[in-house]
Amino acid sequence: MSTFNYEKDADGIVTVTMDMTGPVNAMNDEYREAMNATVDKLEAENGLSGVVFASAKKTFFAGGDLNDLVQAKKGDEAEFMEVLEVTKDRLRRLEKLPVPVVAAINGAALGGGFEICLSTNYRIAYNHKSVQLGLPEVGLGLLPGGGGVVRMVNLLGLQAALPYLLEGKKVAPEQALEAGMINETVASIDELVPRAKAWILENKENEEVAVQPWDRKGFRIPGGNASSPKLAQMLSAAPAMLSKTTRGLLPAPEQILDCAVAAARVDFDTALRVESRGLAYLATTPQAKNMITAFFFQMNKINGGASRPKDIPPQPTQKVGILGAGMMGQGIAYVSAMAGIEVVLKDISIEGAEKGKAYTEALLDKRIARGRMTEEKKAAVLGLIKPTADDADLQGCDLIIEAVFENIELKNKITASTEKYLAEGGVWGSNTSTLPITELAKASEKPDNFIGIHFFSPVDKMPLVEIICGEKTSDLALAKAFDYTRQIKKTPIVVNDSLGFFTSRTFGTYLSEGMELLNDGVYPVRIDNLGKAVGMPVGPLTIQDEVSLELGRKAAETHKEMGVYGFFGDMTTQETMIDFMITQNGRGGRYHGGGFYEYTDEGKTIWPGVVDKFYDESYEIADDEIKDRLLFRQVIESLKCLETNVLRTVADGNIGSIMGIGAPVWTGGFLQFVNTYGLENFQQRCAELAEQYGERFTCPAIVAEKIASGETFA
């Protein structure tokens, strides 16, 4: 029992300190053995007056072992259920001990970790930002299967519990205390166990504290059970509201809702079995495997620095220069200042630069209004941003990021005129979404210190940065860009140079296929609706309007001048579309008076002109065929990027596609999608689409290579 240290003091209080052999405490076989032995010993203990569960790790308890969960497959449900029931039985026995049990929460307690806490009678947490509490399983395609759904509903009530279950909300101790998830906080870790013991001694005459609320006679769930009139109306509308959010693509939220309603309808132990069945089903779904692979294993790999040069010491950014105070530049200034970095925000006029700084002030004011920032902190952040129109103010920047319009001549001119202000060994970053870094670096006197740092709009909300290495980019420059990205709390993917890199190039195929479908005769609104139905955030034609057809036309002209026009396929349809929309009808997009849609204060409606021109009522195509065309184009392009070494790793491709492009989360990313679809099945489906619609659907050779070697995309 070395992994659970068991100590009984003179007052009869046993402190169980969880200290498992790995870096964190987790629900695996070792845990199950230790908890089983601990509960057996506690039940047999003479003179027991109370129990305190504590942790010797920095985190209290990390949750379920995802290495085990990701291995579950169809047909394993009964075995999985059996293990789950044994795990839950130990927690049920723990909460039925005749003495009070207290959780002394010193660090994060998420998922299974918080389920252990819920199985105790009293929960005390260290009041620190490092402590997060909650049940985030839904984000991995799972549900809290250690009693979390059932206990949260019984503790808080169905309506109050649902946001924590369906959204996977993680909260700090103060929020958890206010919500009723914990009972008390302490100001230091050293106070935790002593305070837990003191509470036990303070309540030694009160037998009721050792009984969970739901095990007391006459207990009623807060807010009423599922049949109460108060909840009936909410529950009747809940499935439709949930379907609107998930679009029927994510089974976990639906299972969680079913289990939560059951917890408010049947007895406690029956509800626990319903919950176990729900998790046993979800653990074997492709959605769960995809989401666990991407959001846990691959995300940790990327953020852990797998793509960062190993032999370069940390390269923190002290002073960043940002050239261009427009939409992108002002966002980069905000996230940099929020990270405590000194910012020089330069524009062609001081008015433009000050307007860019005002963007940060507006965002900070919103934080203050929500109680998430003080006036003092706001002043400190704003004090880090220096707006200027003078190049000389860039002197001493260890990183300069150019964030001007996608025009190679303009970018080259700026590089040539301001690069000299970089500090010794400083790095130049270009925020470009498509232009090759190797080409842009030709204007630099130090191409080895030149790198692409591609942000996504809006910068303050989008979590990804795409770092692009040109032919001469050094490891030092890559380390600098990588460390800066982590410094501003973004996730970095690292790719090699090409026109459009990975994200813009792949995303372009989604827009392109939308226009191909329109040109074939599909009703435009149907195209957009089915783009969303497959799991993309927005339909392809709506995106064209939002990012601007006019902007796309100008970018295409730039690419044509560079001799790389149509880098993701035949441009015939796109040229036809641009000619009709812009040249003939002056419809360059939403902010140019309208595009595929017309926009009013009441909303948007399809522009009749595009229907008259392209819609062919006689053209027949199934919904699933449209969805496959929109999805497979992007997956195929991702595979091409991996095949040609634009993508350095599968993890970069999956995380980049989800966080940068908006790939449906159920896929686990465009490359992971191929794994669960089945490589042979994918190859066959590509052949069918290619025969019907053209060579753009030809399956990349890398798939056949993986099939031959018996490998998947890992």
Q: What is the CATH number of domain 319-496?
A: 3.40.50.720
Q: CA 60 → CA 39, 92, 108, 120, 703, distances in Å?
A: 19, 20, 6, 14, 43
Q: How far apart are CA 601 and CA 608, in angstroms?
A: 18
Architecture of domain 504-645+678-709: Orthogonal Bundle (1.10)
Contact between 174 and 185 (Cβ < 8 Å):
yes
Q: What residues does each domain of the chain span?
A: 4-284, 319-496, 504-645+678-709
The helix/strand/coil state of 193 is: helix
User: Which tokens is 78 given?
Assistant: 């009964």
Instruction: Say what the pTM is.
Output: 0.93
Note the pLDDT of residue 1. Answer: 45
Note the pLDDT of residue 248. Answer: 92
Q: CA 617 → CA 82, 463, 466, 620, distances in Å?
A: 55, 42, 42, 8
Fold of 4-284: 2-enoyl-CoA Hydratase; Chain A, domain 1 (3.90.226)
- Contacts of residues 231-235 at CB distance under 8 Å and 24 or more positions apart, as own/partner, are 231/158, 231/159, 231/264, 234/159, 235/261
10-residue mean pLDDT profile of the chain (714 residues): values are 88 98 93 96 97 97 88 88 94 98 98 98 97 97 97 97 96 97 98 98 94 96 88 85 91 97 96 96 95 96 96 97 97 98 98 98 97 96 98 98 93 96 97 94 97 96 97 98 98 94 94 95 98 97 86 65 54 86 92 92 94 97 98 98 97 98 97 97 98 97 98 96
Question: Bridge-partner residues for 170, per DSSP?
Answer: 134
C-alpha count within 13 angstroms, C-beta hemisphere, residue 84: 29
Q: What is the DSSP string of 542-592?
A: HHHHHH-HHHHHHHHHHHHHTT-TTTTS--HHHHHHHIIIIIIT---BGGG
Note the pLDDT of residue 555. Answer: 65
User: Which tokens is 684 given?
Assistant: 């066959």
Q: Which amino acid is at 571?
A: M
Q: How far apart are CA 626 and CA 540, in angstroms?
A: 12
Buried b (16+ CB within 10 A) or exposed e, 104-137: bbbbbbbbbbbbbbbbbbbbbbbbeeebbbbbbb
Give the CA angle between residues 581, 556, 559 to the nearest 5°.
Answer: 170
HEC per residue, 292-352: HHHHHHHHHHHHCCCCCCCCCCCCCCCEEEEECCCHHHHHHHHHHHHCCCEEEEECCCHHH
The verdict on whether omega for the bond into residue 144 sits within 30 degrees of 0, i.e. cis, is no
Q: How far apart are CA 372 and CA 380, in angstroms?
A: 15
Q: How far apart are CA 458 and CA 362, in angstroms?
A: 14
Note the pLDDT of residue 559. Answer: 57
Among the listed residues 412, 436, 403, the one whose alpha carbon sits nearest the alpha carbon of residue 562: 436
Among the listed residues 519, 530, 581, 522, the one whose alpha carbon sits nearest the alpha carbon of residue 552: 581
User: Which tokens is 584 given?
Assistant: 């003939």
Q: For 422, which DSSP code?
A: E
Exposed, middle or buried by CB within 10 Å (0-12, 13-18, 19+), for 162?
Answer: buried
Among the listed residues 233, 87, 231, the one whose alpha carbon sits nearest the alpha carbon of residue 147: 87
What does residue 274 show for φ and ψ, rounded to 5 degrees?
Answer: -60, -45
